[in-house]
Structure 1
Amino acid sequence: MTEHSSRFERGTDGPKVIVVGVDGSDSSWRAASYAGGLARRQRALLAIVYVQPVMAAGAALGAPVADTTDQIAEGLVAEIREATERLKGIWDVRWEFHTFPGDAYSGLVKAADDLKADAVVVGASEQAGHRIVGSVAVRLVKAGRWPVTVVP
């Protein structure tokens, strides 16, 4: 077996794992819906990823950052479960929920690498400052490691 043939090949028979980043924003829910449709049609696993911010400054001020981000993750899972239960029979998609620590870009990169993603879906940034410094979506596209779909 050659070195090349033993390497992981992404998307050769359609995506098997689609990673979508969610943070509770409207654009991330639209991205999750879009990715869910892709996963359903391709019979792929939908890996829903929440990146838990690591905020040392917040912790220094006494804010319970880990507790807050855990609560956000729990709330996201509850919303996803509610939606999939409500759509049972119409929207049958295999999905998993994952959390990764870090900033949004690094967390999604780690998630996509660890989960061997064939595609990454994210919502368009809703922050005006990203026009200047670049959004997570733009950085993921520039990484050039997976097909990236940005949902408005």
Structure 2
Amino acid sequence: MTEQHSQQPSQEPSQRFERGTDGPKVIVVGVDGSDPSLRAAAYAGGLARRQHALLAVVYVQPVMAAGAALGVPVAETTDAIAEDLVAQIRHATEQTRGIFDVRWEFHTFRGDPYSGLVKAADQLKADAVVVGASEQAGHRIVGSVAVRLVKAGRWPVTVVP
């Protein structure tokens, strides 16, 4: 004997935010100009295209108090990096226009990479976070930004080698 059960859907639409119910709508990718971060951006761009999601490209500008105290123009340097990243993204977007159209936004946050990406993912209501694997040997011991994001357990995190 087979029993069938059906659950009647609620007639009232839910008014609260719910992550990941129909696939990702916002994908956050962290970029810093390194090869792994650019590969992560390419991967996230493909995912955003296939899912018809918004690609939120995030650059976290480091705050270097010691350098600023010594008169090093830290803000100007990190602004230049951000501008270069936007130019690279625009160039890639133009090259693939009509073939791979992706909705994207560029955001900058200040702070350490982990805290900046957490803040970005929270503010942008991210459904997924994509980052490049760290190339620094010390991160195998202390823990990379990617490992810390995975351990936070707040979003699905994809680490691109």
With the shorter chain as reference, the TM-score category is over 0.9
1:39 aligns with 2:48: yes
Q: Residue 129 in 1 paired to residue 138 in 2?
A: yes
> What are the superposed Cα offsets for residues 57-102 of structure 1, whole Å, 9 maximum, x if unpaired?
0101110000100000000000100111011111100000000000
5+ residue gaps in structure 2? Answer: 1-13
For 2:112, the equivalent position in structure 1 comes to 103
Query: Share of identical aligned residues, percent?
Result: 87
TM-score (norm 1): 0.96
Matched, 1:68 2:81: no
Aligned length in residues: 148
The TM-score with structure 2 as length reference comes to 0.90
Residues 85-100 of structure 1 mapped to structure 2, 5 A cutoff: 85-100=94-109
In structure 1, runs of 5+ residues without a counterpart are: none
1:6, distance to aligned residue in structure 2 (A): 4.5
Q: Deviations over 1:12-33 (max 9, x none)?
A: 0000000000000000000000
**Superposition pairs for residues 136-151 of structure 1, below 5 Å?**
136-151=145-160
Separation of aligned partners in 1, 2:136 and 2:71: 26
RMSD of aligned C-alpha atoms? 0.8
Tell me the secondary structure at the aligned position of residue 89 of structure 1. coil
**1:14 maps to amino acid:** G
C-alpha distance in structure 1 between counterparts of 2:119 and 2:101, whole Å: 27
Deviation at residue 7 of structure 1 after TM alignment? 3.6
SS state at 2:71 partner: coil
